[in-house]
Structures are given as C-alpha cells and as structure tokens.
Structure 1
C-alpha cells in the first residue's frame, strides 16, 4: 500500500520495514546514550574532557541555529494562507487557555505527590548557599513587566541573532498579517517563504545525522561529571520526580489524548526520535524543528503548529511546573520548615508566573525555583543547594515532559479549532506511513 505525505512524497509501509535497523535514528541515539553512560561511568576523566562536552553542546547549537528561521517561515506561511485574520487571535487564546489549565494540573499533581510522599524528611545535609548564589541573583531581577517587554525585540535582526523564540514569533505574526493584507501581490513572497522552509528542513535532515554523536557527548559528560554517586541520599527525590512526571504524561495527557481520539502510547512512539534526542541532550529545544514538522505530518494545520509549539516553549512547561512544586516541598521538608496551606497555595500562584518569566534564561529551571522559593518563604532559598547536584538528572525528565506536553497541546488545539485531519493522524500513529525520518518529507519539497 502506498500513501502520500503532506508534501507529496509517496511512502509505503514496506519501505518503513525494509529500512536496516542500524540506519533507524532512534536506535542510533539509544546506542549512543548507552555508550555515553558507560564511558561516563567507567572513565569519568575522559568523559569530562571539554571535547566530549563539545559534542553535545555543538549538536544543540546546530539545532538552535535553525529554530528562528523555521518558526518565522512556518508562522508567516500559516498566517498568510488564512483568509480570516480573527482566526489567529482565536487560536492564540485557545492555546493560552489550554496552557493555563494543564499547567495548573501539573502544579497541583506535584503538590499532592510531594505531600503524600515526603522524601525530604530526615535528610541530614547542610546547604551551601554560595553554590546557588548566581541563580538567586538572577531570580531577584526577574519581574513580570520585564518578561512582557522582552517579547518586543530591540530590532528584528537582534531577535534572529539571539534566537529568542517569543521575539521571532511576535515579528512573524506581524509579518504574516502584513503579507495577508497584500492579497495577490503577496503570493510570490509567500511561495518564496514556503520554499525557504523546505530548504531549512533540509538543513535539519543533515544536522539530525549528528544526533547520535551529540547524545553520546552530552550523556557521557553528565554521567562523568555528576556520576551515580551524586544521587546519594537524594535518589528518593529523583525517583519521585520521575514517577510524578510519568503519572502526568500517562494519566493527565493520556486522558486528553483519549478525549481527542488517539492513544498516548502511540503518540509517544510517533515522536520517539525527538524524545530520545531530548533525553540525550537535556534540551527540549534540540527537537523543536523536527517536532513541528512531524506534527504537521500528523494532521495538525500549519497555522496551529506555527502558533502553538513556539508559544508552548515559554508558556506550557509542564515538567518544570512539576519540578518546582516537588522541589519546593522537598527543600522545606529537608530544612524542617512546615509550609502552611496558604504558603502551598502561594507556590501554585507564584510558580505559574515565574515559569514564564524565566523562559530563555540560562539555568531556567533553577532560576524559576529560586524565584518561587523567595516568594513563598525566603528561608527556603539556601536549600536550593541541596538539589543542585542532582538537577542535571532531573532536567532530562523536565525536558521530556515539556516536549510531550507541547505535542499534545498542538494536537488538542488543532482538534478544538476543527483542523485536525483524523485520517492522517491515525495513519501515522498506526504506522501505515513512515513517521521516523524527517528527511523523507523534504527530499522532493
């Protein structure tokens, strides 16, 4: 049986099965991660070599290099094809409503689990406030008004140069509306932008061949520097966070997926390449361009993908929300500080704001945590040093949960907007067409 991708490339189920196992991206990345763990464990001196770290950092930088043009082309193309300008605002409002509701579930789930399983009690440790001083300083300068002003770039070139997702998104939306207003005169420019998007996806197809190398370098360095010994008495928090994140994905996101009409496990199988890349690099941005392309092929409209995915990377951080509530309760328990119901309610309200304000900041998870702790109870801030050594082990799951949440959000908003192609959705999830290789979709674009 043969079918067509959304850009007109015929792909058969026989082609998918005939692909040698050693050429399948997710298998290559899995092997690379396993090798990285072994090298980091058996030879930490080699694993912490700057050149090993550079393998992971270099791959992430290669991906970030194309994020701004992909967002710009996708959003401009999606908006310029829309006849009704009000639709853009409608999609944006629906996305923000979804983000706030689901983020609240993530925060509440973290609080419930943190109270039911108080793994921080009895932890004998003395926090070193100096180890986290720079994050506390960043958090003290973080204000909501600065976040909103930062969405507006000082210059268009500056937005692209910095790779700031929200700044590029704002300019792309304005440019898309301007192109829409040109009518027939804008069609030639729109076609150029569409062709540019295909070319940039071609760049991504080339870069993705280096994904196993990047995953190996990042994982080897992480294990080599922090090592299994870094877990120590804090393994309870790591295990609890992993379990809570899994509960959120399989129960909360699973119910949302079932409501729309698909299976969460099949969806995770569809984006397994992206999940493994995120696992290896600890960065959800490393899979952003490929996720956008796959969601379009899954049956989501280009305009919804272009608006929801980039916005979600700042406003829909489910993994970060779970981390903040769990880590706050863990630190309070470890320091012997009882948090009242009002203070725990404050965690929900403050975390909802700080998770947005720290987007795009280096060490965003820790900066967010510092801002939340300072607002809830300043006495908790030095306790950040307790979880500092294991933060790297938790950042992978934060990133995995964030990217999964953004994928589900895009499908849901497409369904809510009435623009989800259910036939294509089920064809991809049931693997009657090959979803595994982004290169397939752009070779004849």
Structure 2
C-alpha cells in the first residue's frame, strides 16, 4: 500500500466512522446497542495500538544505540543533546505563551452555557505523576527489561545512551553487534509496514466508538471552546513551521508534506505514539541521518509535546473563565513557568495533560473540579494535541540535523 493510498484510506475511514457512529448513537442509544458497539469495536483500536507499542521499545533501543555508536565521541553527543534540549525548551515556551495569548483573546469560557461542576467534585485523576522530583528519579531505569516491558521510552533512551557510548568506545570489536542492531531496526520498520495496513480499520473503530458513545451533540455544546482551541492549534502549527523555516529554508514545506501521513494517523487515533515508527521513517527519507533522528525523536516524545503544552495553558485559563475567576497577568505568567517545569514529567502518565492541569489548578487556587468540564471532549482535543506533537517532533529532528550538518540535501520523492 503506497503512502498516498494509505492516507486516502485513513481519511475515508474517518468519514465512515463519523457516519457509523452517528447512526449507532441515534438509533441504538436507548436499546443499549451503542454501549455494546463501543465495548466490542473499540477492541480493534486497542489491538492496533498494542501492535504499535510492541514495535516501539526494540525500535527506539536499536536505532538509538546504532546512532550513538556511530555518532563519535562524547563531546559530539553532548553538543547534539544541548542543541536538542535548547530547541525543546524554546518551543515549549512558545506553545505555552501562545496558548495563554489565544485564550485571553478568544475568551472561550466567557458566557458559555455549561453545567458547572460543584467546587468539591472529584475528578478521579491521580496527580501522582506530577511530582517533578519523582519524575527525575524515574528517568533512570533499575531494569532495562522492565522498562521495555512497560514501554518507558525515556528509560530506554537513558540505557541506550550508556550502551551506545560504551559500544562506540570499543571500536571495531563492537561493529558486528552494531550492524546486528541496525538490522533489528530495519526489521522493526518492516513489521511497521505490515501493521500500518490495519490502520484504516483502527481509525474507523476509534472515531465511530467516540461518536457512538457521546453523539455529535457534545461537539455543539462545547463548540466555542473546541473551535477556539483548534484555531489556536492551527496558529501554533503556522508558528512552528515558520520558526523551523528560518533553519530549513525552502525545504520546510516538503517535510510538512512528508509528515502528513503520521500526523493524520496521530490525529485519527489520538495517539502520537502510534505515529512514532512512521515519523522516524519519514524524517530519514527527508534526509535526516539516523544517528540524529534516533536521538531527537524519542527524547522529543517526553520533552517536546507542543500540542500538549498549549492545551495545558489554554484549558487552565478556560476553567478560570468559566468560574469567573480573574487572574492577573503576573499570575498567568507564573502559571506558565510552573507548567514549563511540571509538564516535563507527564510522559507515560494516563490522561497526562489532564493530570498536569488538575495539579496546576490547585496551586493557583482554581477549582480542580473544573477538569470535569473538559473530560467529555478531551478525546477530540487529544486528536489535535497528538497531531501537533508529531509535527513538532518531526520538524525538530530536521532542524537539529541541519544545525549539525547532517541533513542530506537530496530531496526524496514524496
């Protein structure tokens, strides 16, 4: 299945999913058919995501070890790491600040007709993953086997860094192992190609079950909030692309075009993780060397979540507006600083963005119960966040490659 054909199949699956979900909600809600449909058909999406997760751990480990082993000395690794984290911090700041500006400009929480939860209502969210000190400690694995079993990407990255540096220092003696790991990464990508044939079915299941469970009416109820957020996300896309174009010049839009398939997959499944293997494949086709891409991409999945960053600041201020709580500019800027730090600890936490938002609300005397306002539409918003995360990480990989002089000038066929 060609790239364009798969994209068309995914788009068609989304449209059919919306239609099927609407019909099931309309005619099966009272009889219980909708609930049965959701419980059984959602299995298809779960199977697809499980297959993708099955690939990620060995793929991240193999590609990163090969990249590090062939990157050179420790000073090269340190230089690439410094550039990578500098870019991530800068883009996180841009995403948070833009979210703050847009929510103040559009006022999506002012004058909305929504049932406001009581102040003491429980959100049911655990904020255990919010503790930054625990997150820093959690970065370092006690067992690489356990890390791989749980798909702890950041822990796999840390172990692969040590492993790759050690392998590189052994010179020719480790070359055979490095070649075998390189072959392992290509095998994983071959498996990805096979798994991706199942993507349209998973997309149909994901979209139809969400509509069948909630109906399209919920989109109307939260129309102002969702429209404001999607407009803000599109503006963030434009900003990220333009900033990247300062480095990549005219090739920026070629890369954006090449990323359309992983972005669409992340959007339709509401999972940026599902698009990781395809994103890696596309940035390498664009000309990014494997030794750079295999480092920047997995680290970006923990530290460069541009869409999630914007959502955190946007949703927190939206909740304040709904409860008619005025926040001074100084308080809002302080919230940005808090989110900049705490959001780096959300990787691997279920409903990660909601956890960070809930924890941040309590720090600024805002009602944590406000999170209940956005729970119902969080999946639809997560679609935009996931797609943005993929776009941001793909562009970041190309930018770092360009800075390192490791971007092939040859333009691959789309």
Do these two structures clear the TM 0.5 threshold for a shared fold by scoring above it? yes
Aligned to 2:117: 127
- Which secondary structure does the structure 2 equivalent of 1:152 belong to? coil
Equivalent pairs counted in the alignment come to 405
The structure-2 alpha-carbon separation of the partners of 1:130 and 1:308, relative to structure 1 and needing over 3 Å to count, comes to farther
The structure-2 alpha-carbon separation of the partners of 1:37 and 1:263, relative to structure 1 and needing over 3 Å to count, comes to farther
Find the partner of 2:336 among 323, 341, 348: 348
The structure-2 alpha-carbon separation of the partners of 1:130 and 1:203, relative to structure 1 and needing over 3 Å to count, comes to farther
Aligned to 2:61: 72
Aligned to 2:41: 52
Question: Deviation at 1:123?
Answer: 2.5
- Which secondary structure does the structure 1 equivalent of 2:342 belong to? helix
Question: Deviation at 1:346?
Answer: 1.7
Aligned to 1:3: none
Aligned to 1:442: none
TM-score (norm 1): 0.87
Establish whether residue 242 from structure 1 lines up as the match of residue 247 from structure 2.
no
Aligned to 1:63: 52
In 1, Cα distance between equivalents of 2:38 and 2:110: 37
Q: Is the deviation greater in 74-83 or in 160-169?
A: 74-83
Find the partner of 1:252 among 221, 224, 240: 240
Question: Deviation at 1:178?
Answer: 1.1
In 2, Cα distance between equivalents of 1:399 and 1:354: 19
- Which secondary structure does the structure 2 equivalent of 1:262 belong to? helix
Q: 8 Å contact 2:129–2:135 — kept in the other structure? A: no
Q: CA RMSD in A?
A: 1.8
The structure-2 alpha-carbon separation of the partners of 1:105 and 1:381, relative to structure 1 and needing over 3 Å to count, comes to same
Find the partner of 2:255 among 267, 287, 308: 267
Find the partner of 1:196 among 174, 184, 199: 184
Q: 8 Å contact 1:127–1:384 — kept in the other structure? A: no
In 1, Cα distance between equivalents of 2:91 and 2:2: 40
Q: 8 Å contact 1:291–1:407 — kept in the other structure? A: yes
The structure-2 alpha-carbon separation of the partners of 1:259 and 1:189, relative to structure 1 and needing over 3 Å to count, comes to closer
Find the partner of 2:371 among 356, 361, 384: 384
Question: Deviation at 1:263?
Answer: 5.0
For structure 2, the 5+ residue unaligned runs are: none
Question: Deviation at 1:265?
Answer: 4.0
In 2, Cα distance between equivalents of 1:241 and 1:198: 38
Q: Deviations over 1:54-77 (max 9, x none)?
A: 111111111011101110011011
Q: 8 Å contact 2:41–2:205 — kept in the other structure? A: yes
Question: Deviation at 1:31?
Answer: 0.9
Q: 8 Å contact 1:77–1:190 — kept in the other structure? A: yes
Q: 8 Å contact 1:215–1:281 — kept in the other structure? A: yes
Establish whether residue 294 from structure 1 lines up as the match of residue 275 from structure 2.
no
Q: 8 Å contact 1:374–1:381 — kept in the other structure? A: yes
Q: 8 Å contact 1:79–1:177 — kept in the other structure? A: yes
TM-score (norm 2): 0.93
For structure 1, the 5+ residue unaligned runs are: 1-18, 436-445
- Which secondary structure does the structure 1 equivalent of 2:140 belong to? coil
Q: 8 Å contact 1:33–1:216 — kept in the other structure? A: yes
